[in-house]
Amino acid sequence: MNWRVMKTAAAAALALGCATAGAQTVEVMHWWTSGGEGAAVGVLKKDLETRGVKWVDMAVAGGGGEAAMTALRARAVAGNPPTAAQLLGMAVTDWGNEGFLGDLNDVATKEGWDKVVPPALQRFAKFDGKWVAVPVNIHRPHWLWMNAKIFNDNGLKPPTTWDEFNAVADKLKAKGITPVAMGGQPWQEATAWEGIVLGMGGPDFYRKAVIEADPASLKSATMVKVFDQMRKIRGYVDRNFAGRDWNLATSMVIKGEAGMQLMGDWAKGEVISAKLTPGKEILCAVAPGTQGSYLFNTDFFAMFKVGADRRPAQLTMASAVMNPSFQEAFNLAKGSIPARSDVSGDKFDECGKKSIADLKTATAASHVYGSLAHGHAQPAAIQRAYLDVITKHFNSDMGSKAATEALAQAVLAAK
Ligand code: GAL
C-alpha cells in the first residue's frame, strides 16, 4: 500500500471511527411496556430512526413508574444516567434540584416552545427558568371505561354520579358480572380515589384537600364519603384483584370479563392496540361527577447532563418530541392528547376529542389541577403519605372516619 492509499484508508477509518463513537444514540428509560404503551414507544423510536438517532431501550416494567424510578436512581447515583428518562411532573423538579438535568434553552428558544406549551406544563418542564424536560402528552387519569355490549345487554347507561355508578355496579353484580376491573396497587387505588375526591367534592375541594393538603378538608365529612365510596368499590372488584397490572384489568373490560374500569386514558391505548374503537366497543366517560374539571398528568422526557458525545443525539430527541406531527402520531397511539396547544385534534377519536374540548372548558374555568396519583400535585414524600393511607384503607377493614384521621395525620407528618 503506498503512502497516499494508506493516508486515505486512515482518514476513512478515522471518519468511520468518529461516526461510530459519535453515533447518534439515545438511551431512554421509561415504564411503557403494555401493548398500547409499547406501540407509542414504537412511534418515538421510529421517528428518531428517521433522524439518524438509534434508540437504546431501558424499559422497566411497572405501571405508574415506581420500579423505573428506583432503577433510574441507581443509574444516576452511579454517575451513569441515561440520555433521557420518563418522569412525571414533580419528579422533574426533584431531579433538577439535585443538579442532574441539562439545559435545553437554546433549542427551546429556537423552536418557540414557550408559545405552544400550556403554562401548567411549563411549570414542570422548566427548572430555574430553563427548559430541562420535554412534555410528550397530556393524560387525564379520571376516566371510566365501559364494555358497550355488557351495558347494552343490561340496559345500562354510563353513570354520571357516584350513586348511579353504584346502581350500575349492583345490577352487574346481581347478574354475576364483575362490576369493576381493578388491579390492587397503590397508584391504581389512588387513581380511583382522586377521581372520587373530584367527583364528590368538586374542584375547590380537590384543590383544598389535595393541592393544598388542608387538614380540615382531609378530615371533612366529604372525605368520609369519599372513603365510603372506596369501600363500595372494594365490594365490586373480583377476588383476584391484588397486585394485578392495570392493563390486565383493562383487558378484562375489553374481553367482557368485567363491566367497568376507573383508569386514566392510557387504557385507551390498550383498546386501540386491541384494534377496537374507543367510544364504540369500549365506551368512555369521565369519572362520575367530574365533568367540567380536568386533572392532568404529563409524561416528560427529562434530559440528563451527559457528555459532549451524547449531547447532539439528546438535542435531536428533544426537538423530535416537540415536533407537532410527532405529538399527533404519538398521542394517537398512547391514548393521551398532545402537549402542544397548536396540534389539531381532527384525527383523534371521540374520547380524545372530548379530552381536548374538556381541557379547554376546564382551563377557562380555572378547574385544571395536577393528578396526585401521577406525581403532579405533591412532592414524592407527601404523595406517598396519601397513597399509604388510601391503600391501607382499601385493603383492610379500616373505617372511613379512621381513614380520614389517618390521612390528615400522615400528610401532616410528611410535610
Ligand atoms: C402513568 C403514565 C402513563 C401510563 C401509566 C401506566 O403514570 O403517565 O403514561 O403509562 O402510568 O403505566
pLDDT of residue 301: 98
The residues spanned by each domain of the chain are 3-139+297-358, 143-295+370-414
- Among 66, 87, 138, 139, say which to mutate for ligand 1: greatest number of ligand atoms within 8 Å of CB: 139
Look at ligand 1, atom 4, and give the residue with the nearest C-alpha.
266
CATH homologous superfamily, domain 143-295+370-414: Periplasmic binding protein-like II (3.40.190.10)
**87 CA distance to ligand 1 centroid (A)?**
10
Give me the percent of the chain exceeding a pLDDT of 90.
94
Look at ligand 1, atom 6, and give the residue with the nearest C-alpha.
63
**339 CA distance to ligand 1 centroid (A)?**
15
- Among 374, 376, 387, say which to mutate for ligand 1: greatest number of ligand atoms within 8 Å of CB: 374
**84 CA distance to ligand 1 centroid (A)?**
16
Q: What is the pTM of this model?
A: 0.94
pLDDT in tens, 137-180: 999 999 999 999 999 999 999 999 999 999 999 999 999 999 99
pLDDT in tens, 259-300: 999 999 999 999 999 999 999 999 999 999 999 999 999 999
Average pLDDT over residues 13-22: 38
From the CA of 298, give the closest atom in ligand 1.
Answer: 8
Q: Report how far residue 120's alpha carbon sits from residue 129's, in angstroms, rounded to the nearest whole number.
A: 14
pLDDT in tens, 325-352: 999 999 999 999 999 999 999 999 999 9
Contact 253, 259 (CB under 8 A): yes
Residue 102 cell numbers, joined: 441539562
Q: Report how far residue 297's alpha carbon sits from residue 368's, in angstroms, rounded to the nearest whole number.
A: 11
65 lines ligand 1 (CB under 6 A): yes
Pair type for strands 299-303 and 84-88: antiparallel
From the CA of 374, give the closest atom in ligand 1.
Answer: 7
89 lines ligand 1 (CB under 6 A): no
Write the class of the CATH domain 3-139+297-358: alpha beta
**89 CA distance to ligand 1 centroid (A)?**
12
From the CA of 246, give the closest atom in ligand 1.
Answer: 6
pLDDT band for 23, please (50, 70, 90 cuts).
low
From the CA of 34, give the closest atom in ligand 1.
Answer: 12
| Residue-level length of the chain | 415
Which string of DSSP letters, residue by residue, matches 124-190? HHEETTEE-EEE--BB---EEEEEHHHHHHTT----SSHHHHHHHHHHHHHTT-EEE---B-HHHHH
The reply to whether 3-139+297-358 and 143-295+370-414 are identical in fold is yes
297 lines ligand 1 (CB under 6 A): yes
pLDDT band for 15, please (50, 70, 90 cuts).
very low
**111 CA distance to ligand 1 centroid (A)?**
27
Q: Report how far residue 240's alpha carbon sits from residue 409's, in angstroms, rounded to the nearest whole number.
A: 31
Look at ligand 1, atom 11, and give the residue with the nearest C-alpha.
64
Radius of gyration of the chain (CA): 23
**108 CA distance to ligand 1 centroid (A)?**
25
Average pLDDT over residues 234-247: 97
pLDDT of residue 187: 98
